[in-house]
Amino acid sequence: MPVVNAAQYRSMLQRAKEEKFAYPAFNVTSTETVNAVLLGLKAANADGIIQVSTGGAEFFSGQGVKSMAKGATAMADYARFMAAEYEVNVALHTDHCHPKHLEGFVLPLIAETEARRAAGRPNLFNAHMFDGSELPLEENIRVSSGLLQRCAASEIILEVETGIVGGEEDGHDTSGVGKDKLYTTPGDMVAIHRALAPLGAYMLAATFGNVHGVYKPGNVQLKPSILREGQAAIAAAFPGASAMLVFHGGSGSSLAEIHETLDYGVLKMNIDTDTQYAFTRAIADHMFRNYAGVLKVDGDVGDKKAYDPRPYLKKAESSMAERVKRACEDLRCAGRSAGRTL
């Protein structure tokens, strides 16, 4: 399937809401990791999301370019081209754009979509994320509102965040923030909905103790009930309404915690750390098993079949694809691909 259009993506999200499952959103950094996501979704017979962060996009562009916008554009075009060969549906997102990166990341990508639409071409991305959680809530809402108005005009969904996801990602370190900042309040969720819902479709990364990076189960105190309370507050203020929620920082979360969030309206869960490990673990295994072959030890010539990048990158792709498949199973979307029926 080609990458879905705006109407198809709305249909995917509505189905997830009604059937209480979520789409995994996999961060990618290279063509190999894009291929791994597509392979894993195919194996799981699941629809899903491919996304790229500021750092991932810059890396995708190569060290000779180092452009977040160009790297993201290249990733989206590559993913669109290859996704057409698979019988699953794929949406494209950007991830965590902090205020300082708007001018170099999200805004040029929105402009690219506007230019493509004017030429009769599909949108570049289905959704963009603005992470204004470091700003006071009022300023976060002000900037988010302006972005959503522009996104909505091009049928782009805007993902926003209130509260702070702890830990470190792409060089953005929030490990020193107070624990109270890791929990979004019902009032925050109502304020976001009041401001954004009239402007267009939005997703909310409401925080409930989430932490980016690696941690063992039990080391982070997740409170999924915060999502339930926030949704109840939205429904009380706006009868019949609810927010499309996103789960960030889920590495190490128990399956019970993940499933609880699905019951409260999480439709998208970001996955990066676990797939990074799966990709690298396979390469490390290859290197350790073929140490003398990948290096010209003691003046020897090595083994070209061992140091050719293709064999170990194939292993990495397969290993990451298995982790993608497992994520689909955890989020209850495995076996649910809408295929070409959208």
Residues with catalytic annotation? 95
Q: What amino acid occupies position 188?
A: D
C-beta separation of 224 from 257 below 8 A = yes
What is the maximum span of the chain, computed from C-alpha positions, in angstroms?
75
DSSP state of 4: P
Q: What amino acid occupies position 239?
A: P
Which of 330, 324, 340 shows the shortest CA–CA distance to 48?
Answer: 324
Geometric angle at alpha carbon 244, from 17 and 37, rounded to 5°: 80
Ordered alpha helix ranges (H), the chain: 6-19, 31-44, 54-60, 68-83, 106-118, 137-153, 186-196, 225-237, 255-263, 273-289, 291-294, 304-307, 309-330
Which of 237, 229, 240 shows the shortest CA–CA distance to 195?
Answer: 237
Which of 219, 329, 215, 228 shows the shortest CA–CA distance to 269?
Answer: 329
Rg of the Cα trace of the chain?
20
Buried b (16+ CB within 10 A) or exposed e, 301-323: eeeeebbeeeebbebbbbbbbbb
